[in-house]
Amino acid sequence: MKWFLLLYLSTLALLPAKTIEVFVALCDNKTQGIVPVGAKIGNGDDAPNNLYWGCSDGMSRYFKKSKKWKLLSSTNPDKTYLIETLEFQHIGTDTRLTAHAYRGSEMKKCLEDYFAALQSGGPDKLVAFIGHNGLMDTSPTLPEQTKTAKKQTPTIVLCCISDRYFAPHFQRYQANPLLLTSQLMYPGSFILHDAIEVWLKNGKPDDYLQAAAAAYAKNQKISTKAAKTIFSLGL
């Protein structure tokens, strides 16, 4: 039994650690085709106060307050398109999460970097996008089609009607969409937060739908049944 346990632990050590990379396009009233929000939270150059980053449901603030994640670092890259990058570690696992805050005016660059990460990833790297659906009014330059063996990079896209706009590109990069949206919606980071827990536990497809619907229903004060219609699995 002792040797079996040692063999099991050594096998686990050889398995690749899971990683997560999140691309957040800050909400921007001036440059994005959105229904305008408050001037302060809709300033795409002000990450600390932005709807998708510094507000209560934003990527930065929500994950910093989470008991499931520990902030490891916060950097301000010397890049005109990127305002801040955060690195977190999941409590109880070795999973690392890196989140990037892109200026709202840099939607094209944010999408290009998201698709590049999708192309170069693999089954142990979750790649996510949060923000306005930039594919509605932006034409990013996409990386070349994946030609190697199937990578099946898992992905989550939280923006309005992402299944219609993003799904057609997933086959090009042999990606594995875990959670998409089928309606207009609010891409709060609480959805990603709970969906990640499903991924870390190797959950089934419907588990993502259930987790997203429960989180959205609680935040928006609607029924879980109604919330469930907002999301799709991208199957």
> What are the start-end ranges of the E strands in 29-90?
69-75, 82-90
pLDDT at 72 over 50: yes
Per residue in 78-104, pLDDT (tens digit) is: 889 999 999 999 998 989 999 999 999
At residue 85, φ and ψ (nearest 5 deg) are -130, 130
231, 226, 164: which is closest to 191 by C-alpha?
Answer: 231
pTM for the model stands at 0.92
Residue 51: strand, helix, or coil? coil
At residue 141, φ and ψ (nearest 5 deg) are -85, 115
Tokens 């109604």, located at residue: 226
Residue 149 confidence class, pLDDT cut points 50, 70, 90:
low
Taking residues 93-120, report their average pLDDT: 97
Query: What is residue 171's predicted lDDT score, i.e. its pLDDT?
Result: 87
How far, rounded to the nearest angstrom, does the alpha carbon of residue 60 sit from its chain's CA centroid? 12
> What are the start-end ranges of the E strands in the chain?
19-25, 69-75, 82-90, 96-102, 125-130, 153-158, 175-181, 231-232
Q: What is the mean pLDDT of the chain?
A: 92
